[in-house]
Each structure stands twice: as C-alpha cells, then as structure tokens.
Structure 1
Amino acid sequence: MPGFFSSFFQWLSGLFFSKTADITVVGLQASGKTSFVNVITSGQWSEDVVPTVAFNFRKIRKGNVTMNVWDVAGQPKFRSMWERYCNGVNAIVFVVDSTDHGNFETARFELQQLLAQPSLSGVPLLVLGNKNDLDGHASVNDIIQALQLSKIQDRPVSCYSCSMKSQHNLDIVLQWLAGRSH
C-alpha cells in the first residue's frame, strides 16, 4: 500500500508541479547528436542512425520535467539554422566527437559563431564530449581547452565526457538538463 500512495503522490505532483525545458542539440555532423536524443528518449543506442536532415523534434518526459528537444543537423549547409533553433531555449547542448581531434578547431569556430549571436546571450551551454568508450578520446580538460570554453563568460557552461553507446554519464547530463527547466 505505501507504494501505491507514493506512485499516486508522484502522479499528482506531476500534474501540478510539472516543469518544461526547451533544449536544442547542435554540433558537427556525426558527433552523436541524434544518438543522444534517441538514447535519452528510448534508452536504446543503435549504430544505424541516419544523419539528420534539417532537424528532428522530440518530447521527453523525465520525472516531472518535460523536455522539448530540437536536434538540428550538423552538416555545413544547416549550421546557419542553429541560431533560429537555439533562440529562446533553456539550454544549448553542443555535442563533440571526442575522438575526432582533427575537427576540434571547426567545432570551436562554429560554437563561437553561434554563441556570438546577441539573441543567445546568457543561454546555458552544455558541451558533451561523446564517444568516450573509444580509444583516443579527448578528456574533458582537452575539450575545454580545444573549444576555449573557459573564455566563455556570458553564460553558465558545463562540459561532460560521455558515451551514447555505453550511456556513461547520461544520468548526470539528464540532471543538468532537468535543472534548466522552469
């Protein structure tokens, strides 16, 4: 019987105390953006992910938080759309392939271009160094240095090393995202 009351209370409090977080996921192509969205929505990772064309939208409920997630394509021709989908959100998630050291400079440039937009001033940033299950992945400190995250002063910035495949650190990432809800 105590389990019933606990479940009922959670359901009832979810009705009256639910929160929403609008989140946009961006990053270079093949960094793991869509895999991230798939894993947090279904708990399933797949190697057969079709590259996103333009954007995908998913609604995810975790506890009393509903997350509206925009997964925006990372190919060069779609990067000009990033600002539009990041405008007015509670958080920007920037996914980096932590094994693709050769693209860190491009990732830094694109992130700096995005964050320079006045409409995005103050929007919290979460950088995910994906694919930490693979040999040769960059550490969090390497990613912070390569993307010059310590120079970002106009918003909260967090960086985590994670793996969509093994789901390493995704619980912390979800807590961080839920903390951005209103």
Structure 2
Amino acid sequence: MSDLVSQLMRSWTDLMDWLYGMFFQQEMDLSILGLPAAGKTTLVTLISRNEMIEDRIPTRGLNMQKYSKGGVTLKMWDLGGQANFRAMWERYCVGASAIVYVVDAADSEKFALSRSELHDLLSKPSLAGIPLLLLGNKSDLPAAVKSEKELAEIFDLASLKGREVCAYSISARNRTNIDITLQWLIAHSSKKS
C-alpha cells in the first residue's frame, strides 16, 4: 500500500511540475562577457547545443543562444570581447538577470586588463545590484588558475559591493563544473526583480 501511495505522490509531483512549467516559464537574460579568446562562445554553444566546437571565429558584435530546463529559459547574449565592442557591454547588461564574466584562467598576462574591464563595467550605476558569476575557463590547461579563491583574489571580487558575486573554475572543453554553473544560473532566475 505504501508503494502505491509513494507512486501516486510522485505522479502528482510530476504533474504539478509539468503544469508549473507550462504556465510559469521564466526567461532569464544573461550577458556573457570577457576578453577575446576566453571561451565565451564555446561555453554558450556547449550549454545551448550540448556540443563542443573547437575552431571558433572570434565573435564580432553579439551572438544569442537559448537553453531551457526546469521551467527556466536562459537567453544568453554572447558579446564580443574586442576593445571596440567593450563599449557596448553596458547596454546589453542593463536589465540582465546576471552578468557572466568569462576569463581565460591560463592566460595570466591578461588578468590585469580583464580585471580592469570587469571593475570598470560594474562601476556603472545602471548595473548596480546585478549578480556576477565569474568563470575561470580552461582549467584543463596546466598553467590555469584552478582555485575559485585564487580567482576571486586575482579579480578582487571582495571589493564588489552591493551585488551577489560567485566564482567557479570551469573547463568548457572538458565540461568541468558546467553543471554547477547551470545550477547557479537557474537558481538565480527567480531572483530577477
């Protein structure tokens, strides 16, 4: 008898989840930013199409992809990282549910510039309060910074006040920590005001 009750409860929960997803779909706008060759487009392609593309042409302007799971649709705006496109970053971050900043964790020569660009962007009053997820990509490479604590120190995340900040070490190529990245993003879909 208890197996029947348990099965009925599971069926009821599944039905309610399905109905909730049908009528209460949430869409989350994400701005995916970072310097050129950090792996932004690779990450977006991996999440949206579940495929890895090795040879990427640098994104000129922007690229938009969607991914849906559990009643949440992530609309990912992959923005070019070249100097002439960085001026557009603020425009695409206003009203975003979260800013995802991707860095090449194996290219320490670009850390100072990347940190400067990130802090400059987040100093804009129009972006106050928007959560930040910093992703140290390419953790599969030997020279990469693999510690989230070290990434947070290098990018001075403690100085970013008035917003939720999180950092993960990932590898889009090896799919390392992509699942926790998606969990963080989906968990923040309900926090959009």
Establish whether TM, by shorter chain, passes 0.5: yes
The one-letter code sitting in structure 1 at the alignment partner of 2:82 is: Q
Task: Give the TM-score of the pair, scaled to structure 1.
Answer: 0.94
1:64 match: 71
Equivalent of 2:116, from 102, 109, 124?
A: 109
Letter aligned with residue 123 of structure 1: I
**Offset of residue 5 of structure 1:** 7.3
> Residue 39 of structure 2 aligns with which residue?
32
Deviations 1:49-101 (A, max 9, x none): 12101001112111210111110000111100000000001100000000000
Do residues 73 (structure 1) and 80 (structure 2) align? yes
Relative contact order: is structure 1 or structure 2 higher (C-alpha 8 Å, sep ≥ 6)?
1
Structure 1 spans left out of the alignment, 5+ residues: none
Q: Give the SS at the match of 1:181.
A: helix
* TM-score, scaled to structure 2: 0.88
**Which structure 2 segments of 5+ residues have no match?**
1-6
One-letter amino acid of the counterpart of residue 67, structure 1: L
In structure 1, the residue matched to 2:158 is: 150
Alignment of 1:1-182 (within 5 A): 9-138=16-145, 139-182=147-190
Per the TM alignment, residue 12 of structure 1 is displaced from its structure 2 partner at its CA by 2.4
2:132 maps to a residue whose letter is L
Q: Distance in 2 between matches of 1:62 and 1:98?
A: 28
Distance 1:169 1:11 in 2: 27
1:19 CA drift (Å) = 1.6
Runs of 4+ with deviation above 2 angstroms: 1-13
Q: Aligned partner of 2:185: which letter?
A: L
The number of residues matched between the two structures is 182
Equivalent position amino acid for 2:187 in 1: G
Q: How far apart, in 1, do the equivalents of 2:32 and 2:164 lie? A: 16
- What's the Cα RMSD here? 1.7
Structure 2 SS opposite 1:134:
coil
Identity %: 43
1:16, distance to aligned residue in structure 2 (A):
1.8
Distance 2:67 2:18 in 1: 16
Higher deviation after alignment, 112-121 or 14-23: 14-23
Q: Which amino acid is 2:157 matched to?
A: L
